[in-house]
Chains A and B, each alone.
Chain A
Amino acid sequence: MRRLQAFVDGELQGADRIHVARHLADCASCGSEADLLRDMGDTLRRAAAVEPAPLGLAGLAGG
């Protein structure tokens, strides 16, 4: 599971990444688990929707 989370997070490199990607191509169970992890991340980001910046300050943080 930790490797799957690291894969979904884009933290696996090289052979590790290829190995997990190959496994996911053949394993529906792990594929569903990976989708669930992605959905949880999406849900967290939506839940963290922030208030828009005051009019005069909009755009300052984005560089």
Chain B
Amino acid sequence: MFLRVFRTLHQFRGQSTLKTWIYRIVVNQASNRRRWWRRRHISQQVALDDPATNIQPIDSRIFASPDRVLDEREIAARVRGALDTLPFDQRTVIVLREIEGLSYDEIASSLGLAVAREVAFGPGPPTAAGTTGGTYEEPRLHKGE
């Protein structure tokens, strides 16, 4: 991957940060690799409810208690199973946000997308006049509201 970045570095136009440009290359490579893998290993895919035999062990040095290690492995298996049910793009967004710690703007740039401000953040807060163009309603933070 580093070689790939190095070889294409001359194509970097400075229209985004180098960081998000590199992430974009990584995401594209991951997407290509996923398609390649699916074509060649379609028959070897494992059902999500199968025992998680292929889960990488979490470093036991972090967790002293065997019970804790087992719990963490089970949780990790469930999390990975849940992630696997998501489309590639959605899974990528979650990984870039929660694991890589990218900002919304960095994720959008990495994926060649724009952040839909209203979708991502909801309507803005009230202005001094108590409204933002008539679209703001009191906090829609609760579920189901």
State the A residues within 8 Å of B (CB).
1-4, 6, 9, 11-12, 15-16, 18-20, 23, 27, 29-30, 33, 40-41, 43-49, 51-52
Cβ-closest chain A residue relative to B144: A1
Contact partner, B125, options A1, A11, A15, A33, Cβ 8 Å: A15
Asked if A4 and B141 sit within 8 Å, CB to CB, the answer is yes
| Interface hub of A27, A30, A49 (most chain B Cβ within 10 A) | A49
A46-B143 Cα distance, complex, nearest whole Å: 27
Q: Could you count the A-B residue pairs with CB atoms below 8 Å apart for me: how many are there?
A: 71
Stretch at the interface among B11-19, B27-35, B54-62: B54-62
Cβ–Cβ < 8 Å partners of A18 in chain B: 125
Contact partner, B142, options A30, A43, A45, Cβ 8 Å: A30
